[in-house]
Structure 1
Amino acid sequence: MGITLPLHRWAQQTPDREAVVDGAGWTTFRDLRERVARLAGALRGLGVRPDDRVAVLALNSARYLECLSAVPWAGGVLNPVNIRWSPAEIAFSLDDSRTGVLIVDDTFAALVPALRAASSSLRVVVHMGDPPADSDMHGYEDLIAATAPIPDAHRGGDDLAGVFYTGGTTGFPKGVMLSHDNLLASAMGGLVATAAYRITPNARVLHAAPLFHIAGFGVSLMTSIVGIPQVVLPAFDADRAAAIIARERITEVFLAPTMLRMMLDHPKFADHDLSSLRMLTYGASPITSALLDRVLAALPGVALVQAYGQTELSPLATLLLPEDHLDGNPAKLRSAGRPCLHADVRVVGPDGNELPRGDVGEIVARGNHVMTGYWNRPEENEQALRDGWMHTGDLGFMDADGYLTVVDRLKDMIVTGAENVYSAEVENAINAHPDVACCAVIALPDPRWGERVHAVVVPHPNHELTAERLRAHVKTLIAGYKAPRSVEFVDALPLTAAGKVRKSVLRERTGRW
């Protein structure tokens, strides 16, 4: 089974149903299959052969969704490009994966000359805009109009579906190789747990998160499997997202915690009728207790689902389901839920043995959703994939009922005065202060303590917050040694496109790490 199979199913069974909606209008399943088959034929004509990589550098659109099916339809392998990368970073990902074909939209067409100059592998560019930006690019619509549809290559099983580059928050990006089986195992596991909330009359999904990111891709695949119309927002905007939910009567959306905070903070949030929304999934980065409380209060009738995982897990490992959000147990709300049906998840010590419930260790997982490996990085594969388990690099513990709580990234744990401090715990305490909009906690070298807890804080406008007041507040919630020894106030935190804080950038800014 491959990731193009759902399109065949719904084009056969509901050909006239809406498949994709964006600013240009809507496309039926019949028309979507026809366009995908023609685009696949065009890619073949441009030299794409089995297992060749095809990159997509674009904002969300109906055409982006077409590419996600057309590349495997042609026998190729997807390389969705991070839209926030510099030309040098993009060129690295193209050359690292030996990607020869790039599909680019109007937003990023101006980068093509720099990419051609920097990349040794790039040979063909398709301009997803209309008309083509210059004579050196092939026109997307021209190719579809001029090319006959071809049969699906029917890639599936262990065939490579995509090379998904990690966000690089803890180092230089790595290409994660995910097979069709990997992606479908994760999608089916997520659907088993959430189908009752997702599959409803008049269901419509909004893509507000970027489709290049594994979370956005995963939502799209789950949506495709169950044949729900997909509404596309080019790039996240808090007010526009809320307006589209109201106008299009959206029933489901995935949002990173940063996006949720921006929506709740927007002065026009209450003006939008969000009564159609039935299910909201959040994830891709940790959520603070304070923000989750705000979401529960603002959207009391919406089924909330927290998703935990990573690119290497295609991406799902655990889900915190709607009933877990409603039973009033604070420990459950602080957790990431329980393993999905497809995922075997454990917490282990340095020796790889499973730890007793409640003990903090590294989170590991195994199952059909675990990546086949990092592209061209055998040493890192040996480190990450050991004894059949994917070592996530996340620290956490599991309770007696199987709920997993993620406490920190292994690399983000701070060892100060021989005590372990988990940055997420400190961030939760800081974010509980009413004058704090958001924050990040990192380790800095300290001559006395080895490392010290350093907080980078974005305060609300017109605040009267000081480092001393913030430290006093934190000490009322957690042990004194965990309180930040230094505090830096900034206007904004550096974020990835998925809303994760780029802590490596914060460390670099200090000039001392």
Structure 2
Amino acid sequence: MTIRTLRAALAGDPAVGAGNVLTTRVEHDLDPDAPALTFDTPVDGRPAWQPLTPRELDLAVRARAAALHELGVRRRDPVAVQTSTAADTVLTFFALARLGAIPALINPLLDGERTASYLRQRLGDVPLVTDAAHLEALEGRPHRLLATADALAGGDPERAPAPYRHWGGDPVAITHSSGTTGLPKAVVHSHDSLYAAIRYRLGLPRPQGSHRMLSALPSPHAATLIAVNLALSFGSELLLLSRQTGPQVLDAIESWRPGSVYGFATTWTDLARHDLGARDLESVALWWNTGDCAHEAHIRRLIAVGSREQATRDGRVRTPGSVFVDGLGSTEMGHSHFFISHSTDSTRYGRCVGRPHAFVDCAVLGPDGEELPPGAVGELGTRSPTLALGYWNDSATTYRTRVRGYFLTGDLMYRDEEGYYYHVDRAVDSVDLGDGLMLHTALSEERVLAARPDVLDCTVVALRTGDKVVTDVLLQLTDGAGSEADAAERTAGVLGALQPHVAATVRDVLVVSDDDIPFGPTGKVRKVLLREQHAARAEG
């Protein structure tokens, strides 16, 4: 079967969605013996790094579905899943989806206390599938163990029930938000919503590099579920990493040689810390970013490496340099809603996230939900078939984030006259300075990074102390760039990069280490904690 035939068969079947791509490929004999998913840990006696076909994946999933069914799991039952490996997370998701249950995937980097709070406050004391490490972290904290992931692998695949037949609106997964402002929210996705963007992409030309994809995304995230089903729908090979640090991603690229790499903005920040020219990254034609938009400084380091095919007078040749597809998405948005492609000759940066995908209807909205004209900064409102159904057990927040049919993302943006959108900050991180002036922390970070090649990463913390606003600029520097002799010049350079009304609020420009920056489970900076810390510092 050709890749084109596979894609056409899935795109033309309205019953296909996020809950049944795997079973559909096996049931309808759609290339079930081609290599599909590769994990970095062993699976049911198979060694790590060995690709599994859809037929082999289906066998592993049926074993787990049989075990879950014997434990009493049925249609619409929510079941929490927190495991250390990508294999356990993905296979348990598939098994629960096969039963028509609702897997609630929890990031393994959530500590025991926050996991217990999330289970109790967000999910409502649902049964849990986990592993020994997380059981230990939960010891003494309320939870309801259903089974360990390794025990599920011992089920009898012949005893698995027939696959549940999904309807488009069926809840198919609960994933959680980044948790940067507090306890993560539980976001409910449907069979159709998590597949809508894939169905759209099946009708487009196959992107360069998509034959062999590496996922550096957290395995319990909605983006991973999309990447997995995208690979199964495209007939691609996909490697899923259980941990996504810079060295682990670079090592995997060198050994597995993907054509494209999927990740979050924090992935590229981590990769940019390393000497990329010293690594063998020639196989990578495409870097695909989702979640927060990426920084120009990090994008430029990535597109300088790798290689891609280009059409020339002499035919198609492979040339140095890669393409970076940037965008903006979130757990609730279900897929990036914008896209822009960068190569070595790109000039449109400044936190431009491009134009919306064809399946997106969006607007920049004012405080009362009115649409703002080009150039005006407001909150992004978006309508899309990819949007999540809402928040589990939290209808108040679900409806609070809807205005005139738009989902309010919490992102502050503006669009230009050409229809390009620019992201300036999260609404919770911006500060009103009065007289029509705003302090946007993300935009300020972008300016510093673009102006200072000695800065690897920058975090801007703005807070009110009494009747004034103070800002601390936290810098993480390249090796050898942290001497005290350079401090005055560096501070002057940072202040010069900022907008004058922002620079006027700066209290300190500080060189910090990774240990000084609190991160959430998906790698985002927890600015709410930084504001608390720096407010205490001011009072002290």
TM-score of the pair, normalised by structure 2: 0.84
Contact 1:34 1:149 survives alignment (8 Å): no
Q: Which residue of 2 aligns with 1:209?
A: 217
Q: Deviations over 1:376-402 (max 9, x none)?
A: 222222220122110111100112222
Which of 291, 294, 305 is equivalent to 2:325? 305
Which of 130, 142, 149 is equivalent to 1:104? 130
- Report the Cα distance in structure 1 between the residues aligned to 2:174 and 2:478, rounded to whole angstroms: 39
- The alpha-carbon distance between structure 1 residues 364 and 160, as it changes in their structure 2 partners (threshold 3 A), is same
- Give the gaps of 5 or more residues in structure 1: 129-138
Counterpart of 2:36 in 1: which secondary structure?
strand
Letter in 2 for 1:477: A
Q: Deviations over 1:44-100 (max 9, x none)?
A: 111112211122212343333222211111111111102221212212222231353
Contact 2:216 2:244 survives alignment (8 Å): yes
Which of 189-198 and 12-21 deviates more? Answer: 189-198
Contact 1:37 1:152 survives alignment (8 Å): no
Which of 170, 186, 190 is equivalent to 2:197? 186
Give the drift of 1:342.
1.6
- Report the Cα distance in structure 1 between the residues aligned to 2:80 and 2:431, rounded to whole angstroms: 37
Query: Sequence identity, in percent?
Result: 27
Counterpart of 2:153 in 1: which secondary structure?
helix
- Does residue 222 (structure 1) correspond to residue 230 (structure 2)? The answer is yes
Which of 264, 271, 274 is equivalent to 1:263? 271
CA RMSD of aligned residues (A): 2.4
Which of 441, 444, 456 is equivalent to 2:460? 441
Q: Which residue of 2 aligns with 1:87?
A: 112
Q: Which residue of 1 aligns with 2:25?
A: 10
- Does residue 238 (structure 1) correspond to residue 246 (structure 2)? The answer is yes
Which of 144, 147, 150 is equivalent to 1:125? 147
- The alpha-carbon distance between structure 1 residues 221 and 445, as it changes in their structure 2 partners (threshold 3 A), is same
Which of 150, 157, 176 is equivalent to 1:165? 176
- Report the Cα distance in structure 2 between the residues aligned to 1:264 and 1:362, rounded to whole angstroms: 30
Counterpart of 2:444 in 1: which secondary structure?
helix
Counterpart of 2:207 in 1: which secondary structure?
helix
Letter in 1 for 2:244: F
Counterpart of 1:62 in 2: which secondary structure?
helix
- Report the Cα distance in structure 2 between the residues aligned to 1:389 and 1:326, rounded to whole angstroms: 36
Contact 1:278 1:301 survives alignment (8 Å): yes
- The alpha-carbon distance between structure 1 residues 105 and 303, as it changes in their structure 2 partners (threshold 3 A), is farther
Give the drift of 1:344.
0.8
Contact 2:269 2:457 survives alignment (8 Å): no
Contact 1:456 1:488 survives alignment (8 Å): yes
Q: Which residue of 2 aligns with 1:488?
A: 510
Counterpart of 1:182 in 2: which secondary structure?
coil
Letter in 2 for 1:459: L
- Report the Cα distance in structure 2 between the residues aligned to 1:222 and 1:507, rounded to whole angstroms: 39
- Report the Cα distance in structure 1 between the residues aligned to 2:262 and 2:535, rounded to whole angstroms: 36
- Report the Cα distance in structure 1 between the residues aligned to 2:206 and 2:132, rounded to whole angstroms: 36
Give the drift of 1:271.
4.1
Which of 136, 141, 163 is equivalent to 2:153? 141
Which of 205-214 and 361-370 deviates more? Answer: 205-214
Contact 1:93 1:165 survives alignment (8 Å): no
Counterpart of 1:485 in 2: which secondary structure?
strand
Give the drift of 1:109.
4.1
Which of 392, 408, 418 is equivalent to 1:401? 418
- The alpha-carbon distance between structure 1 residues 424 and 194, as it changes in their structure 2 partners (threshold 3 A), is farther
Contact 1:20 1:232 survives alignment (8 Å): yes
Contact 2:475 2:510 survives alignment (8 Å): yes
Give the drift of 1:485.
2.9
TM-score of the pair, normalised by structure 1: 0.88
- The alpha-carbon distance between structure 1 residues 304 and 60, as it changes in their structure 2 partners (threshold 3 A), is farther
Counterpart of 2:428 in 1: which secondary structure?
helix
Contact 2:208 2:286 survives alignment (8 Å): yes
- Give the gaps of 5 or more residues in structure 2: 1-14, 41-46, 307-319
- Report the Cα distance in structure 1 between the residues aligned to 2:458 and 2:272, rounded to whole angstroms: 17
- Report the Cα distance in structure 1 between the residues aligned to 2:161 and 2:57, rounded to whole angstroms: 14
- Does residue 317 (structure 1) correspond to residue 331 (structure 2)? The answer is no
Contact 1:204 1:229 survives alignment (8 Å): yes
- Does residue 59 (structure 1) correspond to residue 84 (structure 2)? The answer is yes
Counterpart of 2:139 in 1: which secondary structure?
helix
- The alpha-carbon distance between structure 1 residues 26 and 53, as it changes in their structure 2 partners (threshold 3 A), is same
